[in-house]
């Protein structure tokens, strides 16, 4: 089972509920490139709709991801980090909001194996 599916199971929520129009699977590097300029238009457009965003390999650059999301999304946007998705003995779910997720992640030791999930499914 892939991390995407395992994260959905850990959250016990569907990434594609009735009102979700888009599901974005990406990484900071793919979305923003080296200078952060690439994905701005995409985020701006997606912010008009109910969207689930799944960010792979984002913990090391979480401040960058959050900074880009804060341009178009409210501070109370639900965020979840699913650590070790699919590993029942290690799996952990951190639930937070866009405004506080960076500080919440800093309190934990894991810096690699966490899937960043944004949207209603993270509530």
Q: Reduced to 3 states, what is the DSSP secondary structure of residue 94? A: strand
86-105 pLDDT per residue, tens: 998 999 999 999 999 999 99
Query: Which strands, in side-by-side order, build the sheet including 22-26?
Result: 22-26, 51-55, 114-118, 78-83, 92-97
Q: Give the per-residue pLDDT at 111.
A: 79
| CA dihedral sign, ordered 5, 17, 45, 63 | negative
Residue 103 CB neighbour total at 10 angstroms: 9
Q: What is the mean pLDDT of residues 10-25?
A: 87
Q: Give the per-residue pLDDT at 93.
A: 95
Report how far residue 23's alpha carbon sits from residue 80's, in angstroms, rounded to the nearest whole number. Answer: 15
Strand pairing partners for 28?
none
Helix residue spans in the chain (DSSP H): 3-11, 28-32, 40-46, 62-70, 101-106
Report how far residue 63's alpha carbon sits from residue 100's, in angstroms, rounded to the nearest whole number. Answer: 11
38-75 pLDDT per residue, tens: 778 888 999 999 999 999 988 888 998 999 999 999 99
Residue 5: alpha-carbon gap to chain centroid: 14
Query: Which residue ranges form the domains of the chain, and what is each CATH number?
Result: 3-122 (3.30.950.10)
């Amino acid at each position: 089972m892939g991390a995407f599916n395992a994260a959905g199971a850990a959250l016990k929520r569907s990434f594609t509920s009735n009102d979700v129009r888009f599901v974005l699977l990406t990484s900071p590097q793919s979305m923003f490139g080296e200078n952060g300029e690439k994905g701005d238009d995409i985020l701006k457009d997606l912010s008009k709709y109910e969207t689930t965003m799944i960010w792979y390999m984002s913990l090391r650059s979480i401040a960058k991801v959050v900074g880009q999301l804060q341009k178009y999304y409210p501070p109370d946007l639900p965020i979840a980090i699913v650590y070790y998705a699919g590993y029942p003995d290690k799996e952990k779910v951190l639930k937070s909001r866009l405004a506080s997720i960076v500080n919440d992640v800093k309190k934990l030791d894991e810096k690699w194996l966490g899937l960043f999930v944004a949207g209603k499914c993270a509530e």
